[in-house]
Amino acid sequence: MNTRSKEATHERIVETAARAIRRSGYDGTSVVDIMKEAGLTHGGFYAHFASREGMLVEAARRACAESAAIAADVVASVPPEQALTYMLQAYLSRENLEQVERGCPLAALGSETVRQAPEVRRVTTRHIKEMVDLVARQSPDWGQPGAHERALVTVATMVGTLLLARVVDEPTLSDSLRTAALKHLPIA
| Rounded Cα gap, residues 65 and 18, in angstroms | 10
Residue type, 86: Y
Q: What is the CATH number of domain 3-184?
A: 1.10.357.10
Residues 31, 105, 38, 33: what is their CA dihedral angle, to the nearest 10 degrees? 30
| Rounded Cα gap, residues 24 and 87, in angstroms | 26
Cβ(63)–Cβ(105) under 8 Å?
Answer: yes
Cβ(36)–Cβ(97) under 8 Å?
Answer: no
Average pLDDT over residues 179-185: 94
Evaluate if residue 60 carries a pLDDT over 60.
Answer: yes
Domain ranges of the chain: 3-184
Cβ(174)–Cβ(97) under 8 Å?
Answer: yes
Whole-number pLDDT of residue 44: 85
Whole-number pLDDT of residue 121: 96
Whole-number pLDDT of residue 1: 60
Q: Mean pLDDT, the chain, as a whole number? A: 93
Question: Percent of the chain at pLDDT above 90?
Answer: 83
Contacts of 97 (CB under 8 A, 6+ apart): 103, 162, 165, 166, 174, 178
Evaluate if residue 188 carries a pLDDT over 70.
Answer: no
Q: What is the per-residue pLDDT across 132-150, written as a single tens digit (0 to 9) for each?
A: 999 999 988 888 888 999 9
Whole-number pLDDT of residue 187: 66
